[in-house]
């Protein structure tokens, strides 16, 4: 099956600085590809390339088998790629339905009589959220009154409604507790079950392993590993993510030196 999005040996440089080098990944319909890495690993640069914010400098970027180079986020959206950033682009004091349609508001009437179709927006928002399993009793409440997890879920439902084929999620659980993270991961899985290809950017291997089908590990801008779920355990994924051998070296460094056996002339062993 042709991948919805495929990066093959993609690189990105900012002057002399290597932000990404030789990164490859595939995103398939109904699948979740997790990109794992610590701060500075290159996750943000990867998002910017897929989202159309930055052009890649090397390698190939293909959408549904067609090699491309996106020039803007609007171009990415037109090609079916929606990106939900960690700092969600919402207007906190506006109602949920208004945020759901922000920038794409349906209208009714013509000419000077044209106005926002508020009823349609309210009903559609409620129905679409319900379809994703989000039961919001009041879509008139300001979106700022929702929890962080609920706001992420509204953004995911919005992307599904507006016809996204690929959903890129930037650290959606980073600032959330365990329960809220679980809520978000449930809706990430719902987007996958709706047939979308999902790219989940995270530094949490436990969250990744719960929903992911493929895992790409980044370290200082290069690939440190690429695995299907059937090929790797959570323990091994966590070990690789934490930099297993480096951690082992650090453990040896931090091990306490043996305590001195004599203090003030007294032998501590007796």
Residue pLDDT, tens place only, 93-139: 999 999 999 888 888 888 888 888 889 999 999 998 888 778 887 89
Given a cut of 60, is residue 267 above it in pLDDT?
A: no
In a domain, 156, yes or no: no
Judge whether 40 lies within some domain: yes
Alpha-carbon distance 97 to 120, whole Å?
A: 10
- 221 is in which domain, residue-wise? 5-91+164-255
Distance CA 202, CA 169 (A): 9
Q: Is residue 20 part of a domain?
A: yes
* pLDDT for 150 beyond 60: yes
DSSP, collapsed to helix, strand or coil, labels residue 169 as: strand
> Is the pLDDT confidence value at 87 over 80?
no
Q: In this predicted model, what pLDDT tens digit does every residue of 33-68 receive, in sequence order?
A: 999 988 888 899 999 999 999 999 999 999 999 999
Nearest residue to 49 (alpha-carbon basis) of 87, 89, 88, 8: 8
CA-nearest of 234, 174, 238, 182 to 43 is: 174
Do 79 and 73 meet the contact criterion of CB atoms below 8 Å apart? no
37 within some domain? yes
Which range has the worst mean pLDDT, 53-67, 79-93, 205-219? 79-93
pLDDT at residue 269 is higher than 70: no
Residue by residue, DSSP assigns 80-100 as TEEEE-SS----TTSBHHHHH
pLDDT at residue 270 tops 60: no
- 11 forms beta bridges with 58
**146 lies in a domain?**
no
Residue 240, in any domain of the structure: yes
pTM of the shown model:
0.84
In a domain, 99, yes or no: no
Tell me the mean pLDDT in the region 244-250: 65
Number of structural domains found in the chain: 1
Secondary structure class of 109 (helix, strand, coil): coil
Q: At 81, which CATH number?
A: 3.40.50.300
Domain annotation covers residue 26: yes
């Amino acid at each position: 099956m042709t991948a919805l999005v495929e990066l093959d040996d993609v690189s990105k440089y900012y002057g002399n600085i290597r932000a990404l080098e030789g990164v490859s990944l595939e995103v398939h319909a109904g699948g979740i590809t997790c990109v794992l890495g610590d701060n500075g690993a290159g996750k943000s640069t990867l998002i910017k390339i897929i989202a159309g914010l930055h052009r890649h400098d090397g390698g190939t970027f293909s959408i549904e088998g067609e090699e491309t180079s996106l020039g803007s986020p609007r171009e990415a959206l037109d090609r079916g790629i929606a990106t939900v950033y960690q700092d969600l682009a919402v207007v906190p004091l506006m109602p949920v339905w208004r945020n759901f349609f922000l920038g794409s508001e349906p209208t009714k009437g013509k000419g000077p009589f044209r106005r926002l179709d508020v009823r349609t927006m309210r009903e559609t928002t409620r129905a679409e959220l319900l379809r994703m399993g989000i039961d919001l009793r009041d879509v008139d409440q300001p979106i700022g009154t929702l929890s962080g997890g609920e706001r992420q879920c509204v953004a995911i439902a919005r992307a599904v409604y507006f016809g996204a084929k690929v959903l890129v999620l930037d650290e959606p659980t980073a600032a959330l507790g365990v329960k809220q993270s679980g809520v978000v991961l449930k809706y990430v899985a719902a987007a996958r079950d709706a047939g979308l290809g999902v790219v989940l950017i995270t530094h949490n291997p436990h969250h990744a392993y719960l929903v992911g089908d493929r895992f790409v590990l980044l370290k200082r801008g290069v690939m440190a590993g690429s695995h299907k779920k059937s090929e790797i355990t959570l323990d091994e994924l966590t070990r690789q993510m934490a930099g297993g051998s480096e951690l082992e070296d650090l453990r040896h460094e931090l091990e306490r030196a043996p305590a001195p056996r004599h203090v003030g002339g007294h032998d501590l062993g007796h």
